[in-house]
């Protein structure tokens, strides 16, 4: 994928594909969010939560919300470190509208706030321009997340 835009506001800096819809909710020192939506309606969200909010609590609350809508889901806890950030959350799989859906919840805290990263997609592919091979949308979400964490700015 060669066509990208860059988001650089509120201490968040990441790259995302051109042609995706970006929506912000107002940011202040403790809350706010940015959502990206692909042309296939898959989405990626980063949220800011008040300082002192446990990343585990944020992840558990998101999982609880998803379980209300999708009762037959499978999930497993995740703990990993990316670019010096300790991330906790869940990897989730479920069926909806004859699609296998994948979702990821990753949360972390820094010196000023707690952040959550959540994305969800079905068995969709992103078709690249210029005749390039299609890429799984899950890989695109991973790349967006990596660019966010690699370029992290404490605000």
Residue range 92-101: average pLDDT?
76
- How does residue 1 score in pLDDT terms, banded at 50, 70 and 90? very low
Q: What pLDDT is attached to residue 129?
A: 55
Q: Give whole-number Cα distances, 2 to 12, 42, 86, in Å.
A: 21, 19, 30
The reply to whether 106 falls in a domain is yes
The reply to whether 23 falls in a domain is yes
Q: Give whole-number Cα distances, 100 to 80, 92, 94, 95, 120, in Å.
A: 24, 11, 6, 5, 11
Residue range 91-98: average pLDDT?
78
Mean pLDDT of the chain: 86
- Give the domain CATH number at 79: 3.40.1000.10
CA atoms within 13 A on the CB side of 12: 25
> Which residues constitute the domain of residue 14?
4-150
The reply to whether 100 falls in a domain is yes
């Amino acid at each position: 994928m060669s066509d990208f835009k860059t988001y650089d506001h509120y201490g968040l800096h990441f790259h995302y594909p051109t042609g995706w819809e970006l929506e912000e909710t107002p940011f202040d020192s403790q809350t706010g969010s940015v959502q990206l939506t692909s042309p296939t309606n898959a989405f990626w969200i980063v949220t800011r939560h008040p300082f002192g909010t446990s990343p585990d609590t944020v992840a558990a609350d998101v999982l609880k919300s998803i379980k209300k809508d999708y009762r037959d889901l499978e999930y497993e806890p995740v703990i990993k470190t990316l670019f010096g950030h300790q991330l906790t959350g869940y990897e989730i799989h479920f069926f909806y509208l004859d699609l296998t859906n994948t979702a990821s919840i990753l949360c972390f805290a820094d010196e000023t706030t707690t952040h959550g990263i959540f994305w969800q997609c079905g068995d969709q592919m992103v078709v690249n321009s210029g005749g390039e091979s299609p890429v799984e949308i899950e890989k695109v979400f991973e790349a967006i997340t990596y660019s966010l964490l690699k370029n992290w700015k404490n605000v």
